[in-house]
Amino acid sequence: MNGIWKIWAPRAKDIEVVANGRPRTAEPLGDGFFRADTPPIEADYQIRLDGKPRPDPRSRCQPDGVHGASRWCSDEFAWSDENFRAAPLSAALIYELHIGTFTPEGTFTSTIARLPHLKQLGVTHVELMPVAAFPGHHGWGYDGVALYAPHPQYGTPKDLKRLVAACHELGLGVLLDVVYNHLGPDGNYLGEFGPYFTARHKTPWGEAVNLDDEHSDVVRQFFIDNAKMWLKEYHFDGLRLDAVHALFDQSAVHFLEELTAEVHTLGTSLRKPLVLIAESDLNDPRLLHARDAGGFGLDAQWSDDFHHAVHSLLTGERTGYYADFGSVEDVARALTHGYVYDGRYSKFRKRVHGRPLGDLLGSQLLGYIQDHDQVGNRAQGERIGHLTSPGLLRAGVALMFTAPFVPMLFQGEEWNASAPFQYFVDHQDPQLVEAVRNGRRSEFAAFGWSPDQVPDPQAEETFRRSVLDWGELEKEPHSGIHQWYSALARLRAQTPELLDGRRDLVNVHFDEAARWLVVQRGPVTLQVNFGQSAVQLPRPVGQAVLSFPEHPSGDDFVTLGPESCSIWKA
Amino acid sequence: MNGIWKIWAPRAKDIEVVANGRPRTAEPLGDGFFRADTPPIEADYQIRLDGKPRPDPRSRCQPDGVHGASRWCSDEFAWSDENFRAAPLSAALIYELHIGTFTPEGTFTSTIARLPHLKQLGVTHVELMPVAAFPGHHGWGYDGVALYAPHPQYGTPKDLKRLVAACHELGLGVLLDVVYNHLGPDGNYLGEFGPYFTARHKTPWGEAVNLDDEHSDVVRQFFIDNAKMWLKEYHFDGLRLDAVHALFDQSAVHFLEELTAEVHTLGTSLRKPLVLIAESDLNDPRLLHARDAGGFGLDAQWSDDFHHAVHSLLTGERTGYYADFGSVEDVARALTHGYVYDGRYSKFRKRVHGRPLGDLLGSQLLGYIQDHDQVGNRAQGERIGHLTSPGLLRAGVALMFTAPFVPMLFQGEEWNASAPFQYFVDHQDPQLVEAVRNGRRSEFAAFGWSPDQVPDPQAEETFRRSVLDWGELEKEPHSGIHQWYSALARLRAQTPELLDGRRDLVNVHFDEAARWLVVQRGPVTLQVNFGQSAVQLPRPVGQAVLSFPEHPSGDDFVTLGPESCSIWKA
């Protein structure tokens, strides 16, 4: 029993659908749409665009990769998560992972075995880096081109559903990173079908996705339907939207606003909250404001300012965008203002940047000291734990868990994994390989790295090096770090005041010269000495629940040694 | 007694200021700024950028044109308009005029003699098309490059102040059209001084003005200071912002929002309301929403939808953007919804366009049936009165004056002047002349015009043809049209309900097939028959105060002949 299927291909004169080797002409419906009978379930098929065989832009499965035939998959799956509801973001601990390097096998299925570790750690939401199919075996996933199909090396659509189901079974929510601002450079056939891209705006990747030019209604719907597919058919609990600052849209209803409205309406009909989290470089609270207040209504956004403030303070790095950070005050500002740059002049950007968050909550920002970009976009992909002292690393972790933000971890950071997260690709086109290799080298030449210090992104060992080694989790010093993360996650989960996103309730004191900072939130006090000299601070109420290293405290004072921290609870 | 003067020229190594022939080196202050003594009052001077003599980007006077020396003008002027306050926009009648063609002499001074005519007509605000200096003798003014200096052929800065003073003397407000989205193609030296433009965004005129890239703070300030100069030093009562849809700004505080805040603050300190009116193609109410509601806080915007709906209905034209209009319903929608396209699919744009105005007032939109663009951007620059019947012309005028919008007239429309408003330039560069000429021809070739039917923009007669002939004002049929405009302007001014911008109080009925429409607002009823057959409509309360042509009315019915209209007042 076949259904009817509509294909949008305004740039094609005629279209055939070839299923199981048998071509059938599709009937033009006008406005660039064609109508065809759906292929049989599990059949392989291709769309012949004026004779050229192409994968279906909405293909749900590309068993032989993004250039090959599409497979018409059944949506059937034995779900049993009707009653599952993910934790609210205000109480969340998010864990970002990359399917290909999280486990040695690098598949949806192999990921399942590691979920109990996350649950034990206190994670509430797993966030998968993009899983949409891209060319080659391995890659970060931001070069996806078959946006409706899971990357075949990770597994089948059914495997991905099993992973989501396993998370829900354990009480873990699952978020998916989706990339709507560009498509990868290889295997992107969309432009042959229709005006998915426009020269009206430029992005770092070339022509922008067409969100406001002729025929943009259909293009917008393509991405909105994609979002809804992951949420509805795969039961994801929310999406992370890659680099929304590269979504250019001058329409009176911005694409993000339309997407938010559609996704939240879907959530209402599914009777579960669906969240949208933006990666944004804009420091613009409009993204988070409610739609009826002139905003786009997104639930939360990644905020690099907290990361940069902590990273530059812990490592002393001041190159690139870290030029804008480095003071204890920046960390204090992040904790109380959310954005460090909220209308202040940025040396790095050479202009005033951002706008105050106003009464938006800290829990609408994600706070992290590692993520795939901040680790992976370094020449050698080092984690913060590879770059700073054990004391300062622990201080950074404590800052994150006591901040008013939603904490987010990047795979392996909870034991300061030895594996870096390097930039790896598996492009098929030699010219593209060379361009990416040289691009990477010249990017870091500007920071003084010689070409041989920059790992070759195309080399398989670059990928392999980035795979987590789970064996080290139980070994020192990793196990000690892991305990630190676990204890802080527990402290946070058990202290309602730490889950309260109101930034005006965050009490921060610091001394720039003496290099100490104290954060007080309800019963919890965090004391940090970033400096090289011991400092004496007033003894907080209650008792020290976590300290590194152990240090003496008298009746009235606590002596914090160099690069140390202490957490007290009343 | 000289002052200190700062020049921003980050792209120059060294700078000299040559005043009265004597060069003086400017002292670098860092961040691209240089400091110099101000030239003597009334001295001619140039800035030598690494040896090249250039006009001052902020020159207040370019006596020898945009390529020549700048003159350091005194700001002194004997103002006597301390107590003048322009009418609020809700009670305004705006009159758009072009200094170069409004009078045969084409100067600020010659304009003054015609102000009593405007006052008598009921005009409350004169709006000057751009007066910033551009190369050549004549032009529309959208090719301005010396944005702080009045076009020398129009007169001196003092002459312009005299014109504003004369308007205020008569009780007329004065608005100025300013162009911040691009500079003209000839004489634009800004890019040699600093990054005034950016490749981040594209406009129809090339690189966009740099509002969000490196160093954009100074560029934004350049335009904001320009706005404030016209308002403060020239006593303008407001500005019309050209094509704001070509101002690309991704910052968290949009340039328009910053400009509005600065201008309204200036108004507060000057104790007079200053208005900002945008030309916008976006149908986006965000422009008009208050800043604390996520908007940009502009006072009003031009709205082409009312124009297009009326124009296409009155002329039967359906080419270009008129393809989206033509029904009686479109006029009704404009009157009640403000935007005809408020989230509906546009055939012309090939996408959904706009967003509902919500509870914004009709008086935040300007309503017009002629403006310099809608007349001048036609191949032959015909006015609506040259294209439709006397009855339909009067119907259009009546629709405008009884609409909830702020009515705006274009010079000469009040007597259906014979002069067209054609596209004329006086470029100096032969290549540019050829490019503009060919561009114009090929633009209209698409609409079936042969090259010889399109007036040569560079020919002086094209300019001359566009100059108003004031002699015809007293002659039929012009004097009859003039009476019609005067009577309607009077009716509007004397009927508070017509000045009430609430769109939900506008009562509209129409019959698409029978081609009639009735607008009822408070005591006033407008009946229009757009069609070729007579129609019978219920007799409104009160009596007919204006009808064209005269027509019979019985006790219960009014018979409207073909292409006729009638205005009743209770």
The reply to whether residue B343 touches residue A253, judged by beta carbons under 8 angstroms, is yes
**B224 located within any domain:** yes
**Contact yes or no for A38/A3 (Cβ under 8 A):** yes
Nearest CB neighbour to B253, from listed A253, A289, A355? A355
The reply to whether residue B215 touches residue A350, judged by beta carbons under 8 angstroms, is yes
**B124 located within any domain:** yes
Query: Do residue B31 and residue B168 come from a single domain?
Result: no
> What is the reported pLDDT for B248?
95
Catalytic residue status for B324? no
> What is the reported pLDDT for A426?
97
> What is the reported pLDDT for A554?
81
Nearest CB neighbour to B293, from listed A250, A293, A354? A293
- Using CA atoms, how far apart are residues B198 and B184, in angstroms rounded to an integer? 16
Which amino acid, residue A234?
A: Y
Nearest CB neighbour to B351, from listed A201, A214, A354? A214
Band of pLDDT at residue A11, cut at 50, 70 and 90: very high
**A536 located within any domain:** yes
Identify which of B89, B97, B92, B93 has the alpha carbon closest to the alpha carbon of residue B375.
B97
A560 bridge partner residues: A535
The reply to whether residue B214 touches residue A350, judged by beta carbons under 8 angstroms, is yes
pLDDT, tens digit, for every residue of A328-386? 999 999 999 999 999 999 999 999 999 999 999 999 999 999 999 999 999 999 999 99
**Contact yes or no for B251/B211 (Cβ under 8 A):** yes
User: What CATH number should be reported for the domain holding residue B95?
Assistant: 3.20.20.80
**Residue that the structure tokens 């002329």 belong to:** B315
> What is the reported pLDDT for A201?
85
Query: Do residue B170 and residue B314 come from a single domain?
Result: yes
**B13 located within any domain:** yes
Structural domain span for residue A29: 4-54
DSSP string covering A17-65, please? EEETTEEEEPEEEETTEEEEEPPPTT-EEEEEETTEEE--TT-S--TT-
For B121-166, what is the HEC assignment? HCCCEEEECCCEECCCCCCCCCCCCEEEEECCCCCCHHHHHHHHHH
Q: In A356-480, which ranges are E strands?
A: 365-367, 406-410
Nearest CA in chain A to B290: A294
User: What CATH number should be reported for the domain holding residue B535?
Assistant: 2.60.40.1180
**B535 located within any domain:** yes
SS3 A145: coil
- Using CA atoms, how far apart are residues B420 and B375, in angstroms rounded to an integer? 8
Q: What percent of chain A has pLDDT over 90?
A: 95
Strand pairing category for A15-19 and A44-49: antiparallel
Contacts of A251 in chain B (CB under 8 A): 282, 284, 351-353
Total domain count, chain A: 2
- Using CA atoms, how far apart are residues B113 and B162, in angstroms rounded to an integer? 12
- Using CA atoms, how far apart are residues B181 and A459, in angstroms rounded to an integer? 47
Say how many C-beta atoms besides its own lie within 10 A of residue B105's C-beta: 14
Q: Is this complex's ipTM strictly greater than 0.90?
A: yes
Mean pLDDT by 10 residues, chain B (570 residues): 84 94 93 94 95 97 97 93 96 98 98 98 98 97 98 98 98 98 96 95 88 98 98 98 96 98 98 97 98 97 97 97 98 98 98 97 98 96 97 98 98 98 96 94 92 95 98 96 98 98 97 98 98 95 92 86 96
**B63 located within any domain:** no
Band of pLDDT at residue A2, cut at 50, 70 and 90: low
**A481 located within any domain:** no
DSSP string covering B25-62, please? EPEEEETTEEEEEPPPTT-EEEEEETTEEE--TT-S--
Query: Do residue B382 and residue B486 come from a single domain?
Result: yes
Contacts of A252 in chain B (CB under 8 A): 282-286, 343, 353-355
Nearest CB neighbour to A282, from listed B215, B252, B284? B252
Q: What are the tokens at A34?
A: 């064609």
Contacts of B214 in chain A (CB under 8 A): 349-351
> What is the reported pLDDT for B64?
96
> What is the reported pLDDT for B429?
92
Q: What pTM was computed for the model?
A: 0.96
Distance of CA B1 to the CA centre of its chain: 40
pLDDT, tens digit, for every residue of A163-203? 999 999 999 999 999 999 999 999 999 999 999 999 888 88
Q: Which of A242, A258, A299, A305 is catalytic?
A: A242
Query: Do residue B104 and residue B11 come from a single domain?
Result: no
Query: Do residue B168 and residue B239 come from a single domain?
Result: yes
Query: Do residue B491 and residue B509 come from a single domain?
Result: no
User: What CATH number should be reported for the domain holding residue B21?
Assistant: 2.60.40.10
Question: What's the Cα-to-Cα distance from B53 to each of B59, B126, B509, rounded to whole Å?
Answer: 14, 37, 65
Query: Do residue B38 and residue B167 come from a single domain?
Result: no
The reply to whether residue B215 touches residue A294, judged by beta carbons under 8 angstroms, is no
| A5 φ/ψ angles, rounded to the nearest 5 degrees | -140, 135
> What is the reported pLDDT for B351?
98
> What is the reported pLDDT for B206?
84
> What is the reported pLDDT for B1?
41
Q: A431 to chain B, minimum CA–CA distance in Å?
A: 26
- Using CA atoms, how far apart are residues B493 and A164, in angstroms rounded to an integer? 67
Q: B212 to chain A, minimum CA–CA distance in Å?
A: 8
**Contact yes or no for B528/B399 (Cβ under 8 A):** yes
**A10 located within any domain:** yes
Scanning A446-524, the segments in alpha helix (DSSP H) are: 460-465, 478-494
Catalytic residue status for B242? yes
pLDDT beyond 90 at A503: yes
Query: Do residue B172 and residue B285 come from a single domain?
Result: yes
> What is the reported pLDDT for B152?
98
Which residue in A198, A216, A351 has the most chain B C-beta atoms within 10 A of its own C-beta, making it the best mutation to test that interface?
A: A351
The reply to whether residue B201 touches residue A202, judged by beta carbons under 8 angstroms, is yes
Query: Could you tell me which residues come within 8 angstroms of residue B26 by beta carbon, excluding any fewer than 6 positions away?
Result: B7, B14, B15, B16, B17, B34, B35, B36
Say how many C-beta atoms besides its own lie within 10 A of residue A497's C-beta: 16
> What is the reported pLDDT for A1?
41
Question: What's the Cα-to-Cα distance from A399 to each of A525, B302, B444, B457, rounded to whole Å?
Answer: 11, 51, 65, 67
Distance of CA B144 to the CA centre of its chain: 15
SS3 B173: strand
